[in-house]
Structure 1
Amino acid sequence: MTQPIRRERARLPAAERRRQIIDVTTRLIAERGFWGLSMQDVADGCGLTVPGLLHHVGSKDGLLLAVLEHRDAEDLRSLNEAVGDTESPREICAALVRRNSWQPEIVRLFAVLEAESLTPDHPAHDYFAARQQNTIDGLSRLLKGRTPDPDGLAVKIAALMDGLQVHWLRNPAEIDLVTQWMAAADFIFRDVDPPSGG
Structure 2
Amino acid sequence: MTREAGGTRVRRPPAERRAEILRIAMETFADRGYQSASLAEIADRVGLTQAGVLHYFSSKAGLLTGVLDLRDSTDIEELGNERPQGLAFLRHLVETTRRNAEREGIVRLYTVLAAESVTAEHPAQDYFRDRYQGLLTLVVEALDEAQAQGEVGPDVDPGTTARVIVAIMDGLQLQWLLEPGSVDMAKATEAAIVRLIGRDLPPTTRPFPLSPAP
Report the TM-score when normalising by structure 2.
0.80
Is 1:195–2:193 an aligned residue pair? no
Equivalent position SS for 2:182: coil
2:166 alignment counterpart: 158
Alignment of 1:101-180 (within 5 A): 101-147=101-147, 148=154, 149-180=157-188
Q: Deviations over 1:56-104 (max 9, x none)?
A: 01100000111011111112323449xx753212222022212211111
Following superposition, the deviation at residue 144 of structure 1 comes to 1.2
Task: Report which structure shows greater RCO (CA 8 Å, sep ≥6).
Answer: 2
1:3 alignment counterpart: none
Could you tell me the percent identity over the aligned residues? 38
The CA distance in 1 between the partners of 2:139 and 2:202, in whole Å, is 17
CA contact (8 A) 2:95 2:186 kept: no
The CA distance in 1 between the partners of 2:204 and 2:46, in whole Å, is 48
In structure 2, stretches of 5+ residues that fail to align are: 1-5, 148-153, 206-214
The CA distance in 1 between the partners of 2:83 and 2:11, in whole Å, is 41
The CA RMSD over aligned residues, in Å, is 2.2
The CA distance in 1 between the partners of 2:204 and 2:113, in whole Å, is 37
Following superposition, the deviation at residue 143 of structure 1 comes to 1.5
Equivalent position SS for 2:159: helix
In structure 1, stretches of 5+ residues that fail to align are: 1-5
2:89 alignment counterpart: 89
CA contact (8 A) 1:9 1:47 kept: no
CA contact (8 A) 1:117 1:125 kept: yes
Q: Deviations over 1:135-167 (max 9, x none)?
A: 111111122142442222211111111111111
